Amino acid sequence: MILVAGGTGRLGADVVAALLAEGSPVRVLTRDARRAAPLRRLGVQVAIGDVREPGTLGAAVAGVRTVVSTVHGFARRDGGTPRTVDRDGNGALVEAAAHAGAEVVLLSVLGAAPDHPLALFRMKAAAEEHLRARLPRSTILRCAAFAELHLEMLAKTASRGGAPVVLGRGDNPVNMVSVPDVVSAVLAAVRGEFPGETLDVGGPEDLTLVQLADAVRRGLADPDRNVRHVPRSVLRAVATLERLPRLPVGQIAALALAMDCLPMTYDALHHPDAVEWRGSARVGATRRG
């Protein structure tokens, strides 16, 4: 049995579908039984629980071989935060998995580090450290930004105002990976191909948000409208709200600033330790020390 924590989410739902397609028995951990109802119809077991409440996790991990954690607490309106979900919640999940004799595949972020300016990246680094110490044969997948998410967000802003809105200058190259390629990496990890490894999962290209916005703009009824920008000064002001719970806008502004200013490129193709080129040779999963 494979437990997918966050199996109702963007990546999690695709992981569940891929596991079912290859005949693996799947259980999903969710806080919301209604969101999991369609999964039940596909034969997925549903465990109701919240990673912030360790007492709800025992039943979820019973009889499980591998726990895949796709949960996160970034920019949520439900009170979850990187600290309570990504660090402490994943910590509780790892403890529950250890008690059940299961291994863990942890979804983390490319560039996670204890001194990163963003709380999400610091809390993912803490979760990684805990997992490595507690279950040394588990696998950590540090993923680049999901291209689909950013394309959807740009398309949404375009549907409101006629042209996509880019947060910041949008000229900083950022590595983007597609969700199906991350699913491939998760499935390989579940099969036990990377025991004890921490892998970077990056896409084939570094892209700027302006390039993505242009791609969205070209598909619009009126493609001549210029991409609009939210200036960095506005992002800086909004990012001061980062610590307020249930108000995603501060965390989103802080992430947007980071994506606009920090080095976010990734070159798996030329990495000396690249171990995998999957699917249509679009994802490089690269070992890290």
Closest CB to ligand NAP among 131 and 226?
A: 131
Chain position whose Cβ is nearest to ligand NAP: 9
Q: Can you give the length of the chain in residues?
A: 289
Nearer to ligand NAP, 55 or 222 (CB): 55
The pairing of beta strand 198-202 with beta strand 145-146: unpaired
Q: Is residue 217 a contact residue for ligand NAP (CB under 6 A)?
A: no
* Residue 88 is a binding residue for ligand NAP (CB under 6 A): no
Q: Binding of ligand NAP at residue 35 (CB under 6 A)?
A: yes
Q: With binding defined as CB under 6 A, does residue 11 bind ligand NAP?
A: yes
Amino acid, res. 240: T
**Residue 140: CB atoms within 10 Å:** 25
d(C-alpha 64, C-alpha 136), whole Å: 18
Instruction: Select from 272, 155, 285, 281 the least CA-distant residue to 221.
Output: 155
254 binds ligand NAP (CB under 6 A): no
Binding segment for ligand NAP (CB under 6 A), chosen from 66-74, 192-200, 209-217, 269-277, is 66-74
Interface pick for ligand NAP out of 67, 68, 85, 213 (rule CB under 6 A): 85
H or E stretch at 255: helix 248-261
Q: Measured on CA atoms in the order 59, 64, 67, 71, is the torsion positive or negative?
A: negative
Interface with ligand NAP, residue 251, by CB under 6 A: no
For ligand NAP, the closer of residues 145 and 254 by Cβ is 145
Q: In this structure, what is the dihedral angle of CA atoms 216, 222, 223, 226, given to the nearest 10 degrees?
A: -90
- The reply to whether 97 sits near ligand NAP by the rule CB under 6 A is no
Contact window for ligand NAP (CB under 6 A) among 47-55, 190-198, 239-247, 276-284: 47-55
The CA distance from 247 to 249, in Å, is 6
Binding region for ligand NAP (CB under 6 A) out of 26-34, 241-249, 250-258, 276-284: 26-34
Least Å distance, CB 174 to ligand NAP, is 10
Figure out which of the listed residues 33, 37, 42, 149 binds ligand NAP, where binding follows CB under 6 A. Answer: 149
Closest by alpha carbon to 10, among 251, 154, 142, 180? 180
**Please, which residues have CB within 8 angstroms of residue 105's CB and are 6 or more apart in sequence?**
66, 67, 68, 69, 138, 139, 140, 141, 186, 189, 190
Q: Which is nearer to ligand NAP, 95 or 225 (CB)?
A: 95
2 binds ligand NAP (CB under 6 A): no
Q: How many residues sit in the footprint of ligand NAP (CB under 6 A)?
A: 28
How far, in Å, CA of 230 to CA of 127, rounded?
A: 33
Enter the DSSP assignment of 56.
G
Question: Binding of ligand NAP at residue 107 (CB under 6 A)?
Answer: yes
181-210: which residues touch ligand NAP (CB under 6 A)?
Answer: none
- Write out the residues near ligand NAP by the rule CB under 6 A: 5-6, 8-12, 29-32, 35, 50-52, 70-73, 80, 85, 89, 107, 109, 143, 145-146, 149
